[in-house]
Amino acid sequence: MNKQEMIKHLSEKLSLTQAETKTLLEATFDTMAELLAKRKSFTIQGFGTFSVTQLEKRKGFNPLLNKWMMLPRKLKPKFKAGDSLKERVNAK
Amino acid sequence: MKNEEEKITIDEFCEKVSKKAKTSPEDSKKFIHTLFDSIGENLTQKEKVPIYQFGIFRKKWASKKKGVNPQTQEKITIPAHHKISFKPSAALAAKVNKKYRHLKPNVLDEILTLTHLKKTTPEEIKELEGSPELKKEHGKAKKRALITLIVGGIILLLLLALVIILPAYYGNESNEVVDFAKKVNLMLGLNSISEKLRGEKFEIIDKAKVAEFLADFKKKLSQDRKIVETYSVKPGDSIFSISKKYWGNEFLWPDLYILNKDEYVDPDLIFPNDKIVIYEKMGDPENFSEKQRDQIVQAYIGIYRIYRALGEADLIDGRAKNDAQKIKFGEKRINDSQWTLYTALRYDHDLLKKYENAIYPEDIDLLNQYIERFGYDGMKNK
């Protein structure tokens, strides 16, 4: 399912125009990125929790350059699936 | 370092979204729930649900395995099930790491890496610190370092003195060839000549200096020459082909390039409808005068250095999107630079000796090998 298909599907389900759906969709993911950048975590009922962890600076091997590198500190977005999503995926 | 993270409620989240999309909070709440519901729905049917510019939700099969309940120490079997993972896309990672974007990975010193790799246990460290032999060796090493420092300082002073005194003796004898080599080196910096090509330091091209050099050289080349025509570049043209068209010889292209390109740096780039000014031909390549030969060779060497510097800039970052591209682009440029130099050999067989100071030592070695195998006119036979 690509972005366009998703917009179409959601607009039919919510009886919104495709343009409205698109702005809402983009606003949602933009807001999520902004919140994660501020290290805020949030739970979406029935889906899961989005959070961020900070990776401290560490050594890593770059196989292309064939060299050991000092990788800088960075934030890593994380997702933990909620129980209801797990059940839904595993139900058969 | 702060490692705590704040939780926000779904209502706050919805409020933020509604502010951004200019809708009511109820609408956005409804939307968000429907959105994630449909993502979950998709996940039950498909292996992965990619979301453009955000990330990929993926379903992974985990077969059954034995485990222990950590609270009761009871042995249990975990049934086979689907795990759900999320991989953030590069765009999301970049957005989240906006405040860390100035931090870049650095290549570690090899010696440093080796010592870091070997893990020394606390007991080993104690042993090492306590042993008298090691202390003695530390003392010796300190002495050695001091002596090296003093000797180095003296040598440096001597060298400085030489640099100051020598020009006073030989300053009057400077000829055009030496001047040119100096200029080219000033243009692109000669610091890295003794350093190895890849993995160590590079010189980065300074566009202002190159432009200055080209403008200066253009003045010299355009002296006493008439303008024949102004040519408008057509799709498919190159400096090479235009040189052949008007002067009947493609190997005069550096002359044409320098007469026209005093602003750009990249020798490979000309665009349709660019105006190329065609001057009189410099002379018959078979019967060049000494001055003409010097000029064309110097034009070639100028371009060789520009290619070379562009190649090294590409190896650092330049136009490339990833590391593999960096090496591909950079090596092509450096290869181009070597061929440029080889072409110039047809005009002056002694070029490598004459302009020794403006050419990288490894390129001199390579070109000497080419000359042994293909002679001075190898390009003609190809």
For residues A33 and A59, membership in a common domain is answered with no
For residue B14, the one-letter residue type is C
**Residue B44 touches partner A, C-beta closer than 8 Å:** yes
Angle between helices B253-260 and B239-247 (to 10 degrees): 110
For residues B206 and B307, membership in a common domain is answered with yes
- What confidence tens digit (pLDDT) does each residue in A19-73 have? 999 999 999 999 999 999 888 999 998 899 999 998 888 888 888 877 888 888 8
Name chain A contacts of B316, Cβ cutoff 8 Å.
none
For residues A28 and A47, membership in a common domain is answered with no
Name chain B contacts of A29, Cβ cutoff 8 Å.
51, 53-54
**Residue B116 touches partner A, C-beta closer than 8 Å:** yes
**Residue B108 touches partner A, C-beta closer than 8 Å:** yes
Look up the CATH number of the domain holding residue A82. 4.10.520.10
Label residue A25 left, alpha or beta by phi (over 0 means left) and psi (-120 to 50 means alpha).
Answer: alpha
B301 part of a folded domain: yes
For residues B198 and B86, membership in a common domain is answered with no
For residues B96 and B220, membership in a common domain is answered with no
CB contact under 8 Å between A78 and B86, yes or no, is yes
CB contact under 8 Å between A37 and B99, yes or no, is yes
pLDDT at B122: 60
pLDDT at A51: 92
In whole angstroms, give the CA distance from residue B382 to residue B371.
14
Number of folded domains that form chain A: 2
Strand, coil or helix: what is A60?
Answer: strand
For residues B232 and B365, membership in a common domain is answered with yes
Q: What is the distance in angstroms between the Cα of A71 and the nearest Cα belonging to chain B?
A: 5
Name chain B contacts of A3, Cβ cutoff 8 Å.
51-52
Q: Is the dihedral of CA A7, A11, A12, A14 positive or negative?
A: positive
Which chain A residue is nearest to residue B6, measuring alpha carbons? Answer: A40
Q: Which helix (H) or strand (E) holds B55?
A: strand B55-62
In whole angstroms, give the CA distance from residue B269 to residue B9.
55
Name chain A contacts of B86, Cβ cutoff 8 Å.
77-79
Parent domain of A34: 1-38
B126 part of a folded domain: no
Look up the CATH number of the domain holding residue B86. 4.10.520.10
For residues A33 and A50, membership in a common domain is answered with no
In whole angstroms, give the CA distance from residue A11 to residue B27.
13
Look up the ipTM and state it: 0.90
For residues A47 and A91, membership in a common domain is answered with yes
Give yes or no for a contact between B75 and B60, defined as CB atoms under 8 angstroms apart. Answer: no
- What confidence tens digit (pLDDT) does each residue in A57-72 have? 888 888 887 788 888 8
pLDDT at B202: 42
For residues B199 and B342, membership in a common domain is answered with yes
Task: Write out the E strands in B217-358.
Answer: 227-232, 275-279
Q: Which residue in A41, A73, A89 has the most chain B C-beta atoms within 10 A of its own C-beta, making it the best mutation to test that interface?
A: A89
Which chain A residue is nearest to residue B56, measuring alpha carbons? Answer: A79
Q: What is the distance in angstroms between the Cα of B284 and the nearest Cα belonging to chain A?
A: 48
What are the residues facing A71 on neighbouring strands? A58
Which chain B residue is nearest to residue A28, measuring alpha carbons? Answer: B17
Number of folded domains that form chain B: 2
In whole angstroms, give the CA distance from residue B287 to residue B352.
21
Of the residues B78, B100, B122, the one at which a domain ends: B100
In whole angstroms, give the CA distance from residue B335 to residue B329.
10
Name chain A contacts of B27, Cβ cutoff 8 Å.
24
Q: What is the distance in angstroms between the Cα of B13 and the nearest Cα belonging to chain A?
A: 8
Name chain B contacts of A24, Cβ cutoff 8 Å.
17, 21, 23, 27-28, 31
For residues A45 and A78, membership in a common domain is answered with yes
Q: Quote the distance between the C-alpha of residue B46 and its chain's center.
A: 42
For residues A31 and A52, membership in a common domain is answered with no
What are the residues facing B77 on neighbouring strands? B66
Run means of pLDDT, 10 residues per run, chain B, 382 residues: 71 90 89 91 89 90 88 88 92 88 76 48 57 64 86 88 66 54 57 37 59 80 82 83 83 82 69 81 80 84 81 66 74 82 82 79 81 71 42
Q: What is the distance in angstroms between the Cα of B60 and the nearest Cα belonging to chain A?
A: 11
pLDDT at B88: 93
Within chain B, what is the greatest distance between any pair of CA atoms?
98
Report how far apart the first and last C-alpha atoms of chain B are (Å, whole number). Answer: 64
Q: What is the distance in angstroms between the Cα of B312 and the nearest Cα belonging to chain A?
A: 15
CB contact under 8 Å between B6 and A40, yes or no, is yes
CB contact under 8 Å between A79 and B57, yes or no, is yes
CB contact under 8 Å between B105 and A72, yes or no, is yes
In whole angstroms, give the CA distance from residue B211 to residue B198.
26
Cβ-Cβ contacts under 8 Å for B49 (sequence gap 6 or more): A1, B39, B42, B43, B56, B57, B58
CA-wise closest residue to B213 among B16, B368, B64, B358: B358
Strand, coil or helix: what is B74?
Answer: coil
B112 part of a folded domain: no
For residues B83 and B187, membership in a common domain is answered with no
* In chain A, residues 36-55 whose CB comes closer than 8 Å to chain B: 36-37, 39-48, 51-52, 54
In the predicted structure, residue A7 carries a pLDDT above the cut 60: yes
Of the residues B67, B100, B133, the one at which a domain ends: B100
Q: What is the distance in angstroms between the Cα of A7 and the nearest Cα belonging to chain B?
A: 9
Parent domain of B93: 10-100
* In chain B, residues 287-346 whose CB comes closer than 8 Å to chain A: 322-324
For residues B227 and B314, membership in a common domain is answered with yes
Residues in chain B: 382
Strand, coil or helix: what is B20?
Answer: helix
In whole angstroms, give the CA distance from residue B48 to residue B84.
9
